[in-house]
Homo-oligomer: A and B are copies of this chain.
């Protein structure tokens, strides 16, 4: 396994274009989940990914499982619980000036009851990379323990650890996030965060290069990557700093863009270092927005056409 990740996936419901959650009598249903998005993303680029999660053993749980498995991601360690509910959420994605409409309904989900004892840690140890996000520790005490344990296991087994801060203000306050993440991030190898999340959670403001340096100094990460929205992304590895502009495009569905960036970054970084990582991350993020749903359906060839370079050669 090249990459293992642990996290919740949900079902996301959407009305037809131009309609609303209130008005529509039909909803599109798509898979949603930062970690499964990353697993699917790197798998489609040619890596072997495993996704560890917990789902209810009913039609909705199988729906989510199938949606991840269809791309080839290994789901053999997903816990299927005899009871519990899927996390759900409902979005409408209009053009301006209408605000994005969201109704969250993920409380008390099956995944939020996950405990370290339910995870096959040997499976995790056999991977090369462990990817985690700041969403999981916000879901409950058991989930927090899982993240702690996962980082320990990864360090013990010599995995590269990647961590996407992904601050969710609906799940916890910036203060809580700062406290918990402040204990988790030290020693993470690759720290990825939106600049605005860094400001909210850690109070770090200013020029991106300085923020990256401050984070790196604080948490001792090998690499820090800041995503800057339509200003692209900036990475710092050791003392090297690289800025990559955003790839312009037409956004049909922006949700999952950040996860697509992470998948592209990990793939490119592993294969060819920081600069290629940022370039592939930016390409993936822009490509993702052309797809309805969270998943970036693009292939390595598509990324190569956008970012340049022979992606297949890297895959080897």
- Chain A residues near B (Cβ < 8 Å): 13, 16-30, 58-60, 62-63, 66-67, 69-72, 75, 85-86, 88, 90, 92, 94-99, 101, 103, 105, 107-108, 247-250, 252-253, 283, 286-287, 290-293, 295, 297-298, 302, 305-306
Contacts and interface: CB of A to CB of B under 8 A. Distances in A.
Contacts of A248: 96-97
A29 B24 contact: yes
A160 to B, nearest CB: 25
Given A24-B29, A26-B27, A103 B59 contact: yes
A249 B290 contact: no
Contacts of A71: 66, 69
A247 B95 CA distance: 13
A286 B98 CA distance: 8
Interface of A is mostly: loop
Contacts of A302: 98-99
Contact of A22 (B24, B59, B94): B59
A116 to B, nearest CB: 26
A18 B97 contact: no
B287 A98 contact: yes
Contact of A26 (B29, B59, B253, B290): B29
B90 A88 contact: no
Given A88-B88, A302-B98, A58 B103 contact: yes
A283 B98 CA distance: 9
Contacts of A108: 107-108
B70 A66 contact: yes
Contacts of A99: 302, 305-306
B59 A95 contact: no
Contacts of A18: 252-253, 290-293
A288 B22 CA distance: 15
